[in-house]
Amino acid sequence: MSVTQDALDAVALTNNEYEQLQARLGRIPNDVELGVFGSLWSEHCGYKHSKLLLRLLPSEGEHVLTRVGEENAGAIDIGDGWAIVMKVESHNHPSAIEPYQGAATGVGGIVRDIFAMGAYPIAILDSLRFGLLEADGTRYLLDGVVAGIGGYGNCLGIPTIGGEIAFGKSYQGNPLVNAMCIGLVKSDSLIGATAKGAGNALLLVGAETGRDGIHGASGLASRTDPEERFEEMRPAVQVGNPFMEKKLMEACYELVSEHRDWLIGLQDLGAAGLTSSVIECCGKGQSGAILNLEKVPCREEGMSAYEIMLSESQERMLAIVKREHVTDVMELFQKWELVSAEIGEVTDGDNVILRKNGKEVGNIPVSIALEPPQYRIFGKRGFETRKRAQINPGAFPDLNPRNATELLLKLLQRPNLASKQGIYRQYDHQVLTNTVVGPGGDAAVLRIPGTKQGIAVTTDCNGHYCELDPYTGGAIAVAEAARNIVCTGAIPVAVTDCLNFGSPENPEVAFALEESIRGIAAACELFETPVVSGNVSLYNETGGNPIEPTPVIGMLGVLEDVTDYLQAGFNQVDADVWLVGQSLEQNASTLSGSEYLSLQYEDSPGTPQINLDNELILQKFILDVHQKKMLLSAHDCAEGGLAIALAECALIGNYGFQGDFPNVNRLDATLFGEAQTRIIVSTSPKVRHALEKSAVAYDIPLTHIGTTQDEKTGFNWGPIATSLSNLKEAWTGITW
């Protein structure tokens, strides 16, 4: 083995992997080749510890237009000749080191994945996790990440319409920054990331190539503990230029939508830069290529072949252009004030030949580069986690009714439950003028221009549930995302996921990863929401302590008529308010993993539960009665429980609430238990009989819990009595 350990560490290859590489090549790779293989065999690009598990996820469906993993993002036919392209990705470690640029370039990367398929990006969502808000460094990371997302997305003119944010000890030092983008394209205008046809040209367009981002894929995205390697990995964080990306986006969209016949394929330069873009395109086209690296426009002098191939400089695209249209494509890019250069051509065979100034500096067999080792992980449930999951929340004393109002107000002030208005108002969510329902509710709703249709989108996950029971937590993430979509009146149709975990070499993490995927798969199968795209982010840990398992679910729903949408807030006085899906009274087990227990005891043990069959019935019932024009509003019950969900309905709509409350055996669970499969709806009194009749037909629990009132009435429900202004002061009290 003629290589130093430092050289292997730099590209995140193990000794065993290097020996495999050497054997498969039949020779010793040079430094450039080692860097290329290290990037493509990295966890981020090669999915070494997760690809075998990802096969468990359902990925096919009647409306799915792409095969998962074969394109930059997933595409779903939504009818009327239109398709939605969607994907979510992580930029966790870069954001831990440089929060503004890490988050900004995360947005830039996911947006390029969308327009690389010929779609016009129409919306951005995010899913964020940080350490405890009061902990050292959290505010710095939070402010930088939010500014980065807003700064980049706002400059692009793409609305940031939704997302989620949560705080927990495990994310201290290793925040999660997951960005989701959706795009719109005519179904027959999709383009793939394929290189084929010997002699066709490889054009690089956009920003010049610099030394930023080198080892981003093999280092930042595939290793542990960003804090421990802070200074070492700082140069691996890319630097974004959203105005360059805006020009690139518009140029590529014009190219594909108006001159599709000029192109063979289109691919963004993301993780591993030129390395992954060229070699992956060749793999899809079963071709080879010759690259002339001296033709790559560089912004720094003296860049080596190694640096050019592994640079992750942002705002760059690779266009595979028919030979006869090279001049046409370059002139189109020039019109958009973009620099483009022909850096190589497609060849027959299986090898990508790297040349610089006429000298061959690397020879990469595509089939070897794209077949990294795959590891079957073997997990084991952790003893401490099992012990916490087995604790019965019923062992904790019940809530004194005299303290109920105080507890509600305290819960509304918690960062995980408080209004995030101060965050999402930093994002432009109205640009493009297609936003019907913006952030702050269950899911965002967009109109599809030129049609009656609309779409609903959301991101969801509760990492704490996944820590206590990863299978159930994964299933709940899908169920809650679908429930949020249904609460807008839309039908859930597809999922994109971002699986954030610690080191897969840790048996407890391996167990959580596999079980979460199994839970996601079970829910997606039942709900008929295939996973059409996604991302896996491993080695998220600090000081050897992994984050809570956080498999983020991004979900898409479709409304046949966008004007027929629902919102979460109450919207008229004297409406009936109902709880659908479960009975009002709940037992102590529903406090498992709850915000209530965390507030009261600084710990939240137990085992979350869900019945997926009942969840599906609930969602079908809501869609049915909404189609029959019975519902005025709908809001799901999630973190914080029923009392929090009711308070949110009142606060979002700015209406009071007056309700009856029966005697219950367990007050804390009934008010603040986090039982799944529950939705609060409001209806006109005149549909009461029809609603009850439908509930009987579906054999689903339906409980009348009160009526909406004028805001002056306040919020009065059993032991809880307070003004709407007190609720609002608590809910909006955090200065974000």
DSSP code of residue 298: B
Nearest C-alpha neighbor of 21 from the set 503, 370, 375, 376: 370
**What was the pLDDT predicted at 268?**
96
- The average pLDDT across 704-721 equals 97
Q: Is the pLDDT of residue 234 over 80?
A: no
**What was the pLDDT predicted at 252?**
98
**What was the pLDDT predicted at 224?**
52
**What was the pLDDT predicted at 216?**
58
What pLDDT digit, counting tens, does each position of 495-543 carry?
999 999 999 999 999 999 999 999 999 999 999 999 999 999 999 999 8
pLDDT band at 212 (very low <50, low <70, confident <90, very high): confident
For residue 525, give every residue at least 6 positions away whose Cβ sits within 8 Å of its Cβ, in sequence order, or none: 58
The secondary structure of 393-424 as a DSSP string is GGGSPPPPGGGHHHHHHHHHTSTTTS--HHHH
pLDDT band at 701 (very low <50, low <70, confident <90, very high): very high
What distance in Å separates the CA atoms of residue 122 and residue 229, rounded to the nearest whole number? 36
Range among 67-71, 234-238, 241-245 with highest mean pLDDT value: 241-245
CA-based max dimension of the chain: 85
What distance in Å separates the CA atoms of residue 206 and residue 315, rounded to the nearest whole number? 6
**What was the pLDDT predicted at 340?**
98
What pLDDT digit, counting tens, does each position of 54-95 carry?
999 999 999 999 998 889 999 999 998 999 999 999 999 999
Q: Is the pLDDT of residue 221 over 80?
A: no
In this structure, what token pair is assigned to residue 639? 């973190």
Which structural domains are found in the chain, ordered by start?
Answer: 1-41+191-372 (3.90.650.10), 566-736 (3.90.650.10)
Q: Is the pLDDT of residue 232 over 80?
A: no
Catalytic residue among 44, 49, 93, 429: 44
Beta partners for residue 355, in sequence order: 292, 360
- The average pLDDT across 406-429 equals 97
Helix (H) or strand (E) holding 328: helix 326-335
**What was the pLDDT predicted at 531?**
98
In the annotation, is 44 catalytic? yes
Beta partners for residue 360, in sequence order: 355
The secondary structure of 633-644 as a DSSP string is EEEE--TTHHHH
In the annotation, is 91 catalytic? yes
**What was the pLDDT predicted at 5?**
87
**What was the pLDDT predicted at 377?**
93
Q: Is the pLDDT of residue 344 over 80?
A: yes
Nearest C-alpha neighbor of 166 from the set 462, 511, 439, 390: 462
What distance in Å separates the CA atoms of residue 373 and residue 259, rounded to the nearest whole number? 40
pLDDT band at 378 (very low <50, low <70, confident <90, very high): very high
534 sits in the region (left: phi over 0; alpha: psi -120 to 50; else beta) called left
Q: Is the pLDDT of residue 229 over 90?
A: no
pTM of the model: 0.96
Radius of gyration of the chain (CA): 26
Nearest C-alpha neighbor of 201 from the set 328, 346, 356: 346
Task: Report long-range pairs for 659-664 (Cβ below 8 Å, ≥24 apart).
Answer: 659/577, 659/705, 659/706, 659/707, 659/716, 659/717, 659/718, 660/705, 660/706, 660/718, 661/717, 661/718, 661/719, 662/584, 662/585, 664/584, 664/585
The answer to whether the CB of 657 falls within 8 A of the CB of 715 is yes
Beta partners for residue 74, in sequence order: 86
pLDDT band at 627 (very low <50, low <70, confident <90, very high): very high
**What was the pLDDT predicted at 230?**
55
Q: Is the pLDDT of residue 214 over 90?
A: no
What distance in Å separates the CA atoms of residue 19 and residue 36, rounded to the nearest whole number? 16
Three-state DSSP at 313 gives coil
Q: Is the pLDDT of residue 383 over 80?
A: yes
Residue type, 475: A
**What was the pLDDT predicted at 308?**
97
Q: Provide φ and ψ at 511, rounded to 5°.
A: -60, -45
pLDDT band at 704 (very low <50, low <70, confident <90, very high): very high
Nearest C-alpha neighbor of 492 from the set 504, 502, 505, 477: 477
More reliable by pLDDT, 394 or 2? 394
What pLDDT digit, counting tens, does each position of 348-371 carry?
999 999 999 999 999 999 999 999
Mean pLDDT of the chain: 95
What pLDDT digit, counting tens, does each position of 435-469 carry?
999 999 999 999 999 999 999 999 999 999 999 99
How much of the chain, in percent, has pLDDT values that exceed 90? 93
**What was the pLDDT predicted at 223?**
54
What distance in Å separates the CA atoms of residue 579 and residue 440, rounded to the nearest whole number? 21
**What was the pLDDT predicted at 228?**
60
Q: Sign of the CA dihedral 665, 671, 674, 675?
A: positive
Nearest C-alpha neighbor of 58 from the set 498, 712, 497, 392: 497
Q: Is the pLDDT of residue 225 over 90?
A: no
Catalytic residue among 91, 93, 464, 626: 91
What distance in Å separates the CA atoms of residue 273 and residue 312, rounded to the nearest whole number? 5
- The average pLDDT across 4-27 equals 91
What pLDDT digit, counting tens, does each position of 24-35 carry?
999 999 999 999
Q: Is the pLDDT of residue 235 over 90?
A: no
What distance in Å separates the CA atoms of residue 186 and residue 118, rounded to the nearest whole number? 9
